[in-house]
Amino acid sequence: MRLTKTTSPALILAALLYPAVALAQPPESPQEGQQDVDPGSSAGMAAPDDSRPPPPPPVADEPAAPPQVTRETVCDDRQDDDGDGLADCADADCFGNPVCEAGGNTERNNDRCSDWIDNDGDGAVDCDDTECSGPGITVCQGSYTGPNEGGGHATGGMGVDDIPELTGDMTVEDLIGNFGDADGERNDYLCSDGMDNDGDGRVDCADFGCRFDPQVTVCQGDPGFRFSVVTGISASYNFEENALAPGGSVPNTQDFGDVRFRRVQVRALGSIPMINNSFFLLNLRLENSPRLTFMVFQVPIGDTGHYINVNSGSGGLSSGLIISTSKQPLLDPPYYLFNGFEQNNGAAAEFGGPLIGNTLRYRVFGAGGSGFFNGNVGGAFFRDDTRNFAWNVGGQLHLNILGSYDRFDTPYLYTPVPATFAILVGGKYDQRPRERFPAVNAQMVFEFSRFHARVESYTKYVLDYGGSLQTAWNAQLSVLAIPRWLMFAGDIGSFYPGEYGVDPGFDAALRRPIQQFQWRVAAHWFWFRNIGLLSLMYRESRFEENPDRAQDNTLEREMRLEAQFRF
pLDDT in tens, 233-263: 999 998 765 555 444 444 545 567 889 999 9
> CA 482 to CA 498: how far, in whole Å?
43
Report domain extents, the chain: 225-566
> CA 211 to CA 164: how far, in whole Å?
14
Q: Quickly count helices (H) and strands (E) in the chain.
A: 2, 16
Task: State yes or no: pLDDT of 217 exceeds 90.
Answer: no
Predicted pLDDT of residue 550 = 53
> CA 74 to CA 90: how far, in whole Å?
12
> Which residues does residue 430 pair with via DSSP β-bridges, in sequence order?
392, 437
Supply φ then ψ for residue 308, to 5 degrees.
-135, 140
When mean pLDDT is compared across 14-18, 149-153, 390-394, the lowest value belongs to: 149-153
Nearest 10 degrees: Cα torsion 529, 531, 537, 543: 150
pLDDT in tens, 348-363: 999 999 999 889 999 9
pLDDT in tens, 483-494: 999 999 999 999
Secondary structure E strands in 468-552 = 468-482, 486-496, 515-528, 532-544
Secondary structure E strands in 164-290 = 225-243, 256-270, 279-285
- Closest Cα to residue 258, out of 237, 230, 279, 281? 237
Cβ–Cβ under 8 Å, residues 37 and 27: no
> CA 396 to CA 361: how far, in whole Å?
8
Predicted pLDDT of residue 521 = 98
Supply φ then ψ for residue 233, to 5 degrees.
-110, 130
Task: Indicate left, alpha or beta for 555 from its phi (over 0: left) and psi (-120 to 50: alpha).
Answer: beta
Predicted pLDDT of residue 255 = 63
Task: State yes or no: pLDDT of 285 exceeds 50.
Answer: yes
Q: In the CATH scheme, what is the code of domain 225-566? A: 2.40.160.10
Task: State yes or no: pLDDT of 14 exceeds 50.
Answer: no
284 band by pLDDT with thresholds 50, 70 and 90:
very high
Residue type, 376: N
Predicted pLDDT of residue 468 = 92
What 3-state class would DSSP assign to 10? helix
> CA 285 to CA 231: how far, in whole Å?
10
62 band by pLDDT with thresholds 50, 70 and 90:
low
Of 29-33, 93-97, 501-505, highest mean pLDDT? 501-505
The contacts of residue 371 (CB under 8 Å, 6+ apart) are 380, 381, 382, 387
Predicted pLDDT of residue 355 = 96
Give the chain's mean pLDDT.
Answer: 78
DSSP 42: P
Cβ–Cβ under 8 Å, residues 94 and 82: no
Task: State yes or no: pLDDT of 153 exceeds 50.
Answer: no
Predicted pLDDT of residue 565 = 93
Cα 481 to chain centroid distance, Å, stands at 24
> Burial letters for 491-504: b for 16+ Cβ neighbours within 10 Å, e otherwise?
bebbbebeebeeeb
38 band by pLDDT with thresholds 50, 70 and 90:
very low
The contacts of residue 62 (CB under 8 Å, 6+ apart) are none
- Quickly list DSSP for 284-353: EE-SSS-EEEEEEEEEEETTTTEEEEEE-S--SS--TTTS-GGG-TTSS--GGGTTTT----SEEEEEEE
**What does the pLDDT average to over 270-293?**
86
Question: Percentages helix, strand, coil for the chain, rounded to the nearest 5?
Answer: 10, 35, 55
> CA 154 to CA 134: how far, in whole Å?
20
| 31-40 contacts, C-beta under 8 A, 24 or more apart | none
Please give the angle made by the CA atoms of 460, 465 and 470, to the nearest 5 degrees: 25
pLDDT in tens, 492-549: 999 999 888 888 888 767 788 889 999 999 999 999 988 999 999 999 999 887 655 5
> CA 450 to CA 447: how far, in whole Å?
8
> 540, exposed or middle or buried, with CB in 10 Å at 0-12, 13-18, 19+?
middle
Q: Specify the pTM.
A: 0.67
